[in-house]
Each structure stands twice: as C-alpha cells, then as structure tokens.
Structure 1
Amino acid sequence: MDPPAYRDASLPIAERVADLLGRMTIGEKVAQMTCLWNERHTKLLGPDGRFDPDVAGRHFGRGDGLGQIGRPSDAAGGAKPGLVPAESATESNVIQRWFIEHSRLGIPVMFHDEALHGHVAVGATSFPQPIGLGATFDPDLVERLYQMTAAESRCRGIHQALGPVVDVARDPRWGRVEETFGEDPHLVSELGVAAVRGLQAGLGEGRGVVATLKHFAAHSQPESGNNCGPVSVSERHLRETFLTPFERAIRLADARSVMASYNEVDGVPSHASKWLLGAVLRGEWGFRGFVVSDYYAIRELAERPELYGHHVAEDGLHAAVLAVQAGVNVELPEADCYRELPAALEAGLVKESELDALVAPLLAMKFELGLFENPYVDESAPPTIVGAAAHRELALEAARKTVTLLENDGILPLRIESLRTIAVIGPNADRPLLGGYSGRPAAVSTVLQAIRERVGGSAEVLHHEGCKITVGGSWWEDEVVPSDPEQDRRSIAEAVRVAQLADVVLLVVGGNEQTSREAWMSNHLGDRTSLELFGSQNDLVNALAETGKPIVSVLSNGRPLAVANLASKSAALLEVWYLGQEGGRAVAEAIFGDYSPGGKLPVTIPRSVGHLPAYYNYRPSARRGYLFDDVTPLYPFGYGLSYARFEFSAPRLSSERIGVDQAVTVSVDLTNVSDRHGDEVVQVYVRDLVSSVTRPVKELKAFQRVTLGPGETRSVSLELTRESFAFWNIDTQFVVEPGDFEVMVGPSSADLQTVRLTIE
C-alpha cells in the first residue's frame, strides 16, 4: 500500500495539509490546538522530572496526539534547576518519538519556549534586555543576536520562540517596559523586523525557529500603567502607534506567529476580536501564520479564579467559542477551554470548518519545519552550540553598544594610573541582573568583579552594598519585601566610611528584577506609581555626595527612572539597563575608556511620574507647561553622549519637491572632531506642517549607527519613502497629503537641524 499523500515530501505543503486534515477526527484536530506545560509534571513526567511512557500512556494513549509542549528545557522543575543543553535535546527527542509512535497519524509535536533576549534555559547565552537592544539603534546586531538565539534553541528541540516583543512602550509605570525595544513605532519596527529575520533564518533547514510577535495589540499602554489593563485609544492611534511594528514584521519579515494580548481595546478583548485577528491581521495584512493565546488568556474571556475576567463569556466553553471565531489557532499553555470544543461542536456553537481553518496553518508549519521528515535533533550538537565563544563575544558587543552615557563632566574615562583607591558601592554593584524571562548562562559578570579584573593590582578596589533595594529580589519570588530602613541607615553610614577612603566612588544603583517586571498574578506585581529610585537609594546618593568624593553613577534598571537627584550629584552617569551576561565587563571597559559609549535612549526619561506621558512624538497641543515645574524631559528620546565629539553638516535633500508616491534621500556629513574612535547615531525625523488631522511634532523615520575614527568624515544618506510621510487621514485612509514637511536630522530628538520638503 502506498503511503498517504501527507507523507510525501515531494508534494506541495497545501496538498499534504489537505490530505492530512481530511483523515483527522475531531479529537485529533482539537489536540493540535492544545498545549501542555505545567500539567506535563502529571501527564508526561515521572517523579524524577523525566519523561515516563507509562504516565504519558495514561493520558494520551488514545492516540489523538498533541499540538504543542511548552518550555521543555525547564522540564526538571521550572526555571530551577532545569535541564542542561544535552539533556534538553535528549528529552525533547524522547517525547517527540513517543508522540509520533503513539498517535494514530504520527503528527509531530511542536515545542515552544521563551526567547526574549536569549533562550530561557540553563546554559543559554543571555543578551541585553530588549530595552537595552533598543539603545543600540543597530538592526544588524539585533538580527545576528536573534539568529544565535534561534540556533541555541533549535539544537535543543525548540521550534517556536515566544518573541520578539514589538509592543511600543508608552507608560514607564508598566513593569514590562524592559521587554520592549522602546517608545517609538519606527525604532520598534526596525528592530522587530531584524529580530524576526534572525529567529526565522533557516526555518526549514533545522536552524531557525518560528517567531511569535507579542502582544497583539496595544498591550503596552494599559490604563494606570497596570499590566493587562484596558487600553482606550482611537483606531487611528492604534494603527499608527501600536499596530505598525506588527504589520511591518509580517509584511517585511514574514513573521509566522502572533500572540494575542491579554488586554481589551475599546471594550473588546484581543482574544475575542474578529476585527483585530480577522479583518486586520489576516484580511488587510495577509497574515498566513497562526495565532497563539497568551497563557490562560482564553479562560480570562470568562473569569480566571483569583485574578480577573473580561466577562464576555459565561464559562470556558463559551470562551473557547469566542476565541475560535476570532481566529486563535492554539490555546496556551494548557488544554483548558479548548477541551470544550467537541461539546461546542455538538451544540452547534462552532462548525468543523472553523476548526479546519485554524488547524490547517498549524499542520502547514509543521510541514514547513520539516518535522514529518526530520523530527529529532542531534543530541551531540548542543554542547558545541549553546554558550559558544562566538555567542559570548556577541553578548559582549551587544552590551557595549547598549551602554548610554547621560552625563560626563570630563571625569570619564577614568585613568587607572591616577587612582590609588576606587570604592564600588551600591545594591547593584555585585549583583547579576538579567531581568525577566532570562535563562541561566554559564557565567555572569558583575560590575564589581569586572572592575577588579580590569584594575588588577594597579589600584585598591573597595566595596560596600550601601543599601538594599528589596530583600532577595528574584524575578520568580512573588512577594516583594522592601529593605529595612534602619538597617539601610546603618549600611549607608558604613558605605560613607568606605567612600571616604577612595579617590572616586563608582555608584551602581537603579532597580532590580522585582521592582519592574510582569505582573502576572495579584500576588506577583511589578507595576509602580512612582519612578523614583526604590527604597533608600536616594539617601545613599545624598550621603555619598556629602563626602565630596567624585561620583560616577551607573543605572541598571528595567524601566526609565526619575533620577534628577542622582544626575545632579554625579560627575558622570551611565544608563545600562540590563546588559546580559557580559554586563559587568562592558561597564568596566566603558568606565576606563576601552571603548566610547554610543548607546541612545530608546525611551524618554521623565522628570517625575507626574510628567507622564512623556514620549517625544506628542501632538502640538501637548506639553504646554506646568505650574512650578519644567515641562521638558530629564533626558529626551534618542539622547546619548560619547567620549568622542561629532559635528553634523546641514542636511541635504536629493530633491526639495517630490510627488506623493515618491521617495527622497536626506544626506548629512558626519565628522568626528575628536581624537577618539566613537559611535554616533544619525537620526532623521519628519513633521507634516499642515494636515487634515493633528500630527506629532516630530516622528523618527530613519536612523543609522555610524562608527568613525579620529578626524574621520562620512557622508550618511538615508531614504524616506512614501510610508515615511503617510498617515491615517480624516477619512481613515493611509495616505500622503500634499504640502510642506520639515525633515530634521541630528544626534537626538532634541538636537536637530531642519530642511523644508514640499510634497505635491
């Protein structure tokens, strides 16, 4: 007997999908729409945390199979302790083999995992958090970085990455700012496209993984800054700000998966939005991939016990119906509401044809990944790929390019030969800080360790914690325990005595993985009503300033912080976000001038929480002024200093008049007028001077990071296309309106030279 058509790799994928789908029962179709994560501990694994065929047989013995398994690398007990690379590959192969051999049709399982800034697994390389990658303004770096992440993931058996996050961060109170590339739609789009290209390179060749765009949509401007809160924006605002990065990542990089967001927009939860997931995503944009739910979000269409519910469904069955009709292909992370689909079919609430439409893309992806022909990974490969030397070097390069210099009175770079004693002080000085959704790299460098290594015996390095931020401080610990003020006061006094012995104080403060994180339950919070340094840190700053010792401050944090006090009392200030496993080394090298910091702020740093919203691309009637306060930000979007000095020539246009469908090139000569190598980011903004609806005072539309040697000049040319000038007009049409525009070029959103362009 000839094998079924779906087994014939020479046939087009569409034919294979149609053949396989025609052979499947309702139970097998529903199984492809479900996943297993925490429940694998009772349905797949034995007491030792490893796959047990007897346990699996009791739960999956009827042969319907399973669509996905979540986070297999933590199969030995969550993030702690997890499986080492070789064990991960072996375990995924064992599980894959069992499902292929014990399901009626032999459909392979797809494994997914988190890959926010590296694979979330033991031994994986940890790169800077996305907010730090935003500071690099370097799409090429981001593409290479995510390609390495894909390689480390795929060799362990992973097929789908839950990332990149292409939310546009508009509220710093929100604890997930660190997961985003920043506040600007164009910057997020460019880096999001790069991340997708990196993740999906070699998708059908055993190297790439399916990229999953998160979180669709508008998740990043929740009401009151509370994670998952309602989002109240107009369709125009939604399209121009929050949908833009998703559309570009789909159109330009063919992102193959999208994760719907927890929040509602205009009263409609994303997981139930036929307009968002149907009319826009699949209709307007032609998306051909599949939509996954955020974890437990379909249940939240009704009510999730001890959390909240949207109450647009009366129970799990009706929640499943809403999600299917909206177009959610897979329920993550467990088979919960979608288990009710056979009953929904029997009751006539959904049609089998609706299930077929959702199952078909899932099967197509498994065919495209080559899982029917090559379902297993080489178990000898992970030790040579995961955490490889080239990956560590790229992590260091990314960390260096992230470091952003905000203040410098000339003290930096420090000269070791002029120093006898350095005091490294602060709660983040000797603390590994990777941020949320992080793996466990083989080694992590702290600032204190790296300073001691860099200085060697040339100077004495003293250390004191100064104060705590929180007790413990792990991202995984639900309860956040503030430090004891009395203990902090005693500790600060001791830190002052240490500082008095030093020539210079290196102060490392900011946040930690509890003070800014995803608030996923009512007992696991991470959003804040204040942007001030948490706990006693400002007291530490003030006490050290009173010693008269020069202070070089380093901020390590996941969200913009209101640090006017710290800035005013520091001779130099570096914003480094979370730099990944090589963070300490990158900071030490920057401080001693081994390279010149060239990062730029991907978000505005406001003066206080009362200045929110603070993003730079506001409308003309905003930012009119405050009584007794300055309306400007503490540091603007795109801002960052260097040890080198650069001069921009006046910008030039290839034409001063163009048609509505034409492009124009803007050029500028950039000169390094110093005796140091350095990086500068050429930033191009536009403004429509008269329009049918109000437009932002400026919008980033092009950028390029440039490295120049001492005295070097380079002409930089960047193209502005029709999309650079188009917007959703009074009739909700995406058009370019003829008229005059300002094209602005410079090193930040607040330091620009302008040239006039007319569009006819």
Structure 2
Amino acid sequence: MSIEEKIAQLTSIFVDDLIENGDFSEAKAEQLIKHGIGQISRVAGSKLGFRPREVAKIVNKIQKFLIEKTRLGIPAIVHEECLSGLMGPSVVMFPIPLALASTWDPDLVKNVAEKIREQALLVGVKHCLSPVLDLCRDPRWGRCEETFGEDHNLVAAMGIAYVRGLQGNGDRVYVVATAKHFAAHGVPEGGRNIASVNIGVREFRNIHLYPFEAVVKLAKLKSIMPAYHEIDGIPCHANDELLTKVLRYEWRFDGIVVSDYWGVRMLNTVHRVAKSCKEAAILALSAGVDIELPHNDCFKELVEAVKKREIPEELLDRSVERVLYVKYLLGLFDNPYVDEARVPETIDGHSYRELAREVARKSIVLLKNDGVLPLPKSNIKIAVIGPLADNPFAMLGDYHYASHIGLVQPDIHIVSVLEGIRNKVDPSSVVYAKGCEIQTSDLNMLNEAIAIASKADVVVVVVGDISCIFDKNRCTSGEGIDRTDLSLTKPQEELVKSISNLGKPVVLVVIAGRPMSLENVQKDVKAILWCWKLGAEGGNAIADILFGDYSPSGRLPVSLPRSSGQLPVYYSRRPSSFGEYIEMPSKPLYPFGYGLSYTEFRYTNINVEPLEVPIAGEIKISVEVENIGRYEADEVIQIYIARTYNSVALPVKELKAFKRVTLKPGERRKVMFKIPTQLLAFYNRDTKLVIEPGKYKVLVGRNSEESIFETTIKIVGETIELKERNIFTAEAYIE
C-alpha cells in the first residue's frame, strides 16, 4: 500500500460530499476517494433525507466504486448514530438510553440493540456510534439523556447488554458498537459540554472507566470513541496513557479507536495543544486514534508528515492493520453489498413498535400517587393540558433523527400523550389546551387551559423538555443544551400552579431529557409520572399506565435533585459528604432506584450467607417477594453494599446487584443473587486493584434510600491484589 492508500483507510468522508443531484456521483468519488476510504459518514442520517431504500442503493454504489475503481478494491465501513434506533428518516424510534436504564432490565436492552442491529444491516450500516457509557453525575449537562444513568454498575450492566445485542453475542461481529465518550464525559466542569473534567485517578478508575472496561472484556467491544474534553490538561484525543496503555495494554482491546466528530481538529482549535491540523493529527495518531471522523480534516496532513519523517510510517501501519482487521470481522471482504429488494420504504414494522411500546411502558416511573391513579376509562371527563401534550417532538431525544436534524415535522408517526389518551377512551370525553409554550407564557393560552380544566373531572398536565442539539432558543435538553436551573421552565411552572389552584385532581406527566427538580410543583399535584423521551410509541405507553392496563414499574437510574444548588446529588457519595444546607436537605427529592407501583410487595425470608466470606469468595443472598396487591406488576429488587472502613475513602454504599421480577396478585417468587467479592475491589493508595478484608453491610432495598433488610458480613483473609478485573456484574436469577 502506498502512504496515500494507508492514510485513506484512516479517514472518512461525509456522504453528502459524494452526492450530486440526489444520487452518488462517480466523478466526485474519483476526485475525493480515489485511494479508497476507511469509513463513510452518515448515509442514513444525512440531512439530505435519504429513505431506507435510497440509503441501501447509495451504499451499494459507493462499495461498487471502491471495489471496482480503486487500485486495492477495499470496501468502506458505513457508520451511523444508533443510540435509540438507526438514525434516519422513516425508521421507528426507541426510547432514549435513560429510559432503557429505567427498566432495570438488561435482557430488554439487549432486545432493543438486536432490533437496532437489524435496522442497520438492512441498509448497509456496519458501524454504530453507540452506546454512551458516560455517567450522568451532573444533570446540568445536556447530554445526560444519552446515558444509562449515574451508577457505574447499572451503566456497565446496560452497556454489556447493548453491545452484545448490537454486535452479536458470539464469534461473528455483525455490526460494530462504539463505546463513548472515553472517558468521564458526564462530569464536565460547571455541567458545560466538553468542559474540563477534574477528577482523581482512583475515582477515574473505580467509577468512570468501569463500564468501558466491562464492555471491552465481557462484550468484546470492537470500537471506542475518545471524549472531547481534557483531564488534568491532557485532551482525551491525545491521551496515550488512556488510549494505548489502559485500553490496549491493560485491557487488551483489539478493535479500532475512532475520533469523535472533529475531535482531532479540536486539539488545535479548542484545547490549543497543537499549533496546526497536521500537529493535531500526529498527536492523535500517536496517542492511539486510528480513524478520524467525520471527514479527512486533519489526517490527510499525515501524508506530508510521514514523507518528511515527522512521524514513523509504522504508526500508520499499526492503525491500518486494525482497520482492515475490523473490516475482515464484518465480512466486508466477502460481501459488502446489501439486498436492496429486501429494504422497505419505511423501517416501521409491528415488531419494532411493539418493542418500543414495551420498553417505554416498563421505563415509566411513578413518583407520587395520592389515590388518583389509575384513571377510569369511562364516566369521566379528562382535560389534557400542557405544551408537550400534543407535541410529537416531546417524545424525541437529541439523537432521534427529526430532532437531531431539526425537521419542522417528524419524519415518522409519533404517538403524543393526547393521541395515546384518545386511543384509550372515548375521544369525546377528552378536551385539550396547550396552556403555554415551553419557554414563553401566553395569557390567552393560560386562560383557555384554566377554562377547560375547570370543567373536567381530572386534569393531566404534560410538561418537561424539548430535545435537540445546540439550539438553545428552541430546546431545553440535548447536546450543547446545558442549564443552570433544573426546574421546569417558568411558563410551565406557572401553568401547573394555575391548574392546581382550581382544586381538581391533577396528574403531572413529566417528559424529561435530564434529571429535573420538581420541588416547586410536586406538592401541588396528586400524582406524578416521570417519563423520559419515549420514542414513537410514547403516548400509547403513557396511556397504558394512566388507565391501569400496566402497572408502573420503572425505577430511577438517576437521583432527582431538589435544586441545582445541591449538585452533585448522586447517591454513592463518600463519607465526608454528609453536610446539610440552610435552605433544604442535602438528599435528593427522589433517590436513585426509586419508583412506586399500583400494587404492594412484601419481602420475606431474606437470607445472606455466609456471614464470614473468604476474601476471594462470594456473597449469596436469597429474597422472597410476594405481590399482596390487586394488580399484576413488576418489582425491582436492589442489593447495595455499604462499606465500613477501607484504606482509602470510598462511597458509603453502592449498587451491586438487581433483578426485575413479574408477579401476579398473590404470587410469590424466590430471587437469588451471587455477588463475587471481586465486585468490592477498588484502587488503593498505590493505585493497585485490591480486595480488602473487613466488615460490610448488605442492604436489600427498593431504592438507594429505603432498605427493607440489612445485615453485616465480614470479608476474611489478607488483602489481595488483582492483576485485573474480569467480573463486572453479579449473578441474579429467579427460582
């Protein structure tokens, strides 16, 4: 391979640059990718709006050109955003990752990822830029909605399930998953996107690297993406200790490292650690970045750098080998084409919508219920009020196509809350008023809402976030949409209070993209349903809960603060973080793991053994759970471990195991847990991974603040140092 051909494999190009008059242009390709190309960026998610069948045709034409018209005939990897479904028009949308995490059901998350894989393969996408494994520990950060929550153990479990579902849980790799943003992107300074991350090495390794290490070792991850930020002055895209020492040498990662979009150039333009694009490319490649996305912006400068011996050609060879290896794993050298005849006009089948509705339903969290829910389906007049009630965009996260691209109208049918309610009951019994805009008040709208609500038996008020990327005038959540105030916007708070003053029972439905504070309104309403961005079937799922066809069973994967002034408010804080404020308690309004049900559960026959556990042993826990209410429902049993004394200060408690179980009225099931002591390992003063003996509390609870049972165990033996982690999740099963 020539130097130009090698570097071509380490670069990418936007599909838009290869399009003329709505179709692939061979003339442009001969000019731009004559030496081949590593990846093609965003065919499905292009702003040009290609439908699925058009995507497949364009992908085939690009591959045909590369194979037949370039000297080496190497096909390209086509990548796309896949966070909540394949990003593109006419593709059904699943709930956002925070909703997936709210199910506390890794098997369900794996099912979603398998469906996303199916969507991607239909159109020739072989590389998905997901999942996000950052921890949502500063909810001011607008990208919280892309995460699986605040807890590294929950994020790891969800990440493993997602990667296995997307890539395939065997020797063959169907679609490459990309874990991002490596690492600790969820704790930026001030909650501002891409800002500095200021954490110590032990917190970095114990908490933030944990989910990434888990998917590399247990799910055989094949792609990873560095984060935009810097840590202690070293940008992640130029951090050889992170991208080479930890990732390659310690974890033995054998996939590819792809830059975040324009992340290489930002070494020059944002971080100012490189004086030119060429210098940025040298830094990134030397650190361990294999491919520059989304365009050959800086890596093209490597041609000159190699010829001038500013960088050894062996570095190119190292990355080229990795890229070609992944292409081999994907089967691109055997057959890079897709069967266009199999591609539908829309990827919107019944199985997709059925799964989207199931996930949405299982993710909804009941925060409060003063006896008003579930609602009856007849002999009731319902007022549906709020700026998000009849807004399909309310159901979309920032990485759903319509909101990401900024379409005026959704590209596929999305069920709003109003439509979902009208699907469930006699439509003539439902009245609607908007009440306000998200960020602006309108007295006429407010008066109309008050008039309509005053004549209803119950009022469903739908408020929350609108998500997109970088549009601060339109949105309140998403990439580049960071906030200092986590309350509902003022017009929405005013609407809730005005309606509640009528004395009618008010059900508050919050459709959120990030953890928000409901401190100012939670006392004014009778019930609260917490709903994330629930995708195409969100409105139907919410109606299923409102009218009792399904008992709410979601559990919060984050803590909901009382105020922005409390932050950080995640549950697994260290022992010294016990101080109280003048204005309010230090604890969140609703804790991590919290969620109510329409039924009641009774825990009995809880057993923990042995009480003295060998240093390299396991803790066995059994719990019997009985549904003593009137509704079939799911309970999520949560096991926390609280530490007493260790050689370094560690979180006072951490989630170590969980299991979701479905119970009919009167049904009782026994749930078993096995927690290896390796899950208690941490990095000590010398940054060695160790398990220390001592006393630990085992807490069986419904959430991080409410323990049903606790007992003390003792880990016995001498401190042992582990060469590496190889266990990341506990075993949980139902007898």
Q: Specify if TM > 0.5.
A: yes
State whether residues 53 and 345 of structure 2, in contact with CA within 8 Å, keep that contact through their aligned partners in structure 1: no
CA shift in 2, pair 1:748/1:151, >3 Å: same
2:213 partner amino acid = E
Q: Distance in 1 between matches of 2:444 and 2:89?
A: 38
* Cα deviations by residue, 1:502-535 (Å, 9 ceiling, x for unpaired): 0000000011115998999xx9840001001114
Q: Which residue of 2 aligns with 1:312?
A: 273
For 1:755, which of 703, 711, 715 is the aligned residue? 711
Q: Helix, strand or coil: the match of 1:152? A: helix
For 2:212, which of 229, 233, 246 is the aligned residue? 246
Q: Determine whether 1:431 maps to 2:401.
A: no
Q: Which residue of 2 aligns with 1:18?
A: none
Q: Distance in 1 between matches of 2:466 and 2:302?
A: 42
Q: Determine whether 1:682 maps to 2:637.
A: yes
2:42 partner amino acid = R
1:654 partner amino acid = E
Q: Distance in 2 between matches of 1:513 and 1:505?
A: 25
For 2:32, which of 55, 59, 63 is the aligned residue? 59
Q: Which residue of 1 aligns with 2:19?
A: 45
Question: Which segment is superposed worse, 685-694 or 156-165?
Answer: 685-694
2:264 partner amino acid = I
CA shift in 2, pair 1:719/1:270, >3 Å: same
State whether residues 646 and 673 of structure 1, in contact with CA within 8 Å, keep that contact through their aligned partners in structure 2: yes
State whether residues 147 and 208 of structure 1, in contact with CA within 8 Å, keep that contact through their aligned partners in structure 2: no
* 1:439-450 aligned within 5 A: 439=401, 442-450=412-420
State whether residues 240 and 727 of structure 1, in contact with CA within 8 Å, keep that contact through their aligned partners in structure 2: yes
Q: Distance in 1 between matches of 2:169 and 2:253?
A: 20
* Cα deviations by residue, 1:481-512 (Å, 9 ceiling, x for unpaired): x42x4xx2321111100101100000000111
* Cα deviations by residue, 1:682-716 (Å, 9 ceiling, x for unpaired): 00110221100111111001101111010111111
Q: CA deviation at 1:746?
A: 1.1
Q: Distance in 2 between matches of 1:221 and 1:438?
A: 23
State whether residues 651 and 755 of structure 1, in contact with CA within 8 Å, keep that contact through their aligned partners in structure 2: no
For 1:607, which of 562, 567, 573 is the aligned residue? 562
Q: Distance in 2 between matches of 1:372 and 1:32?
A: 14
Q: Which residue of 2 aligns with 1:13?
A: none
* 1:162-311 aligned within 5 A: 162-201=129-168, 208-303=174-269, 309-311=270-272
CA shift in 2, pair 1:642/1:437, >3 Å: same
State whether residues 648 and 670 of structure 1, in contact with CA within 8 Å, keep that contact through their aligned partners in structure 2: yes
Q: Distance in 1 between matches of 2:57 and 2:195?
A: 41
Q: CA deviation at 1:666?
A: 1.1
For 2:528, which of 568, 573, 582 is the aligned residue? 573
State whether residues 652 and 755 of structure 1, in contact with CA within 8 Å, keep that contact through their aligned partners in structure 2: no
Question: Which segment is superposed worse, 506-515 or 542-551?
Answer: 506-515
Q: Distance in 2 between matches of 1:320 and 1:204?
A: 33
Q: CA deviation at 1:187?
A: 0.3
Q: Helix, strand or coil: the match of 2:674? A: strand
Q: Helix, strand or coil: the match of 2:521? A: helix
1:289 partner amino acid = G
1:57 partner amino acid = E
CA shift in 2, pair 1:559/1:290, >3 Å: same
For 2:331, which of 362, 370, 393 is the aligned residue? 370
Q: Distance in 2 between matches of 1:603 and 1:279?
A: 32
Q: Which residue of 1 aligns with 2:454?
A: 500
Q: Distance in 2 between matches of 1:228 and 1:437?
A: 17
Q: Helix, strand or coil: the match of 1:706? A: strand
1:430 partner amino acid = D
Q: Determine whether 1:463 maps to 2:432.
A: yes
Q: Helix, strand or coil: the match of 2:639? A: strand
Q: Distance in 2 between matches of 1:276 and 1:413?
A: 50
* Cα deviations by residue, 1:289-330 (Å, 9 ceiling, x for unpaired): 010000001111111xxxxx1011111111111001100000
Q: CA deviation at 1:435?
A: 1.1
* Structure 1 unpaired stretches of 5+: 1-23, 304-308, 470-481
State whether residues 45 and 81 of structure 2, in contact with CA within 8 Å, keep that contact through their aligned partners in structure 1: no
Q: CA deviation at 1:235?
A: 0.6
Q: Distance in 2 between matches of 1:351 and 1:606?
A: 51
CA shift in 2, pair 1:643/1:517, >3 Å: farther
Q: Helix, strand or coil: the match of 1:31? A: helix
* Structure 2 unpaired stretches of 5+: 403-410, 717-735
Q: CA deviation at 1:675?
A: 1.6
Q: Distance in 2 between matches of 1:148 and 1:51?
A: 28
Q: Determine whether 1:532 maps to 2:487.
A: yes
2:589 partner amino acid = L
* Cα deviations by residue, 1:211-260 (Å, 9 ceiling, x for unpaired): 00010011110000000000010010001111000000110000100001
Q: Helix, strand or coil: the match of 1:692? A: coil
Question: Which segment is superposed worse, 154-163 or 657-666?
Answer: 657-666
CA shift in 2, pair 1:514/1:162, >3 Å: closer
Question: Which segment is superposed worse, 209-218 or 562-571?
Answer: 562-571
Q: Distance in 2 between matches of 1:449 and 1:407?
A: 24
Q: Which residue of 2 aligns with 1:652?
A: 607
Q: Helix, strand or coil: the match of 1:424? A: strand
State whether residues 113 and 166 of structure 2, in contact with CA within 8 Å, keep that contact through their aligned partners in structure 1: yes
CA shift in 2, pair 1:675/1:564, >3 Å: same
* 1:97-176 aligned within 5 A: 97-176=64-143
* Cα deviations by residue, 1:247-277 (Å, 9 ceiling, x for unpaired): 0011000010000100001110000001000
Q: Helix, strand or coil: the match of 1:344? A: helix
Q: Which residue of 2 aligns with 1:349?
A: 310
Q: Distance in 2 between matches of 1:172 and 1:83?
A: 34
Q: CA deviation at 1:83?
A: 1.5
State whether residues 142 and 479 of structure 2, in contact with CA within 8 Å, keep that contact through their aligned partners in structure 1: no
Q: CA deviation at 1:381?
A: 1.8
2:19 partner amino acid = L
Q: Distance in 2 between matches of 1:517 and 1:718?
A: 46
CA shift in 2, pair 1:465/1:516, >3 Å: farther
Q: Determine whether 1:36 maps to 2:13.
A: yes
1:714 partner amino acid = R
2:314 partner amino acid = S
Q: Distance in 2 between matches of 1:756 and 1:132?
A: 34
* Cα deviations by residue, 1:322-348 (Å, 9 ceiling, x for unpaired): 001100000000101101101111232
Question: Which segment is superposed worse, 733-742 or 340-349?
Answer: 340-349
Q: Determine whether 1:452 maps to 2:412.
A: no
1:543 partner amino acid = S
Q: Distance in 2 between matches of 1:654 and 1:460?
A: 56
Q: Which residue of 1 aligns with 2:595?
A: 640
Q: Helix, strand or coil: the match of 1:276? A: helix
State whether residues 299 and 316 of structure 1, in contact with CA within 8 Å, keep that contact through their aligned partners in structure 2: yes
> Paired residues, what number?
702
State whether residues 202 and 208 of structure 1, in contact with CA within 8 Å, keep that contact through their aligned partners in structure 2: no
Q: Which residue of 2 aligns with 1:409?
A: 370
* Cα deviations by residue, 1:59-110 (Å, 9 ceiling, x for unpaired): 33xx4111100111144xx1xx512111111111011111111110100011
Q: CA deviation at 1:385?
A: 8.7
For 2:347, which of 386, 396, 403 is the aligned residue? 386
CA shift in 2, pair 1:565/1:198, >3 Å: same
2:291 partner amino acid = V
Q: CA deviation at 1:718?
A: 1.1
**What is the aligned-residue identity percentage?**
43
Q: Distance in 2 between matches of 1:190 and 1:518?
A: 33
Q: Distance in 2 between matches of 1:302 and 1:628?
A: 44
RMSD: 1.8
Q: CA deviation at 1:203?
A: 8.3
Q: Determine whether 1:509 maps to 2:463.
A: yes
Q: Distance in 2 between matches of 1:434 and 1:397?
A: 17
State whether residues 193 and 479 of structure 2, in contact with CA within 8 Å, keep that contact through their aligned partners in structure 1: no
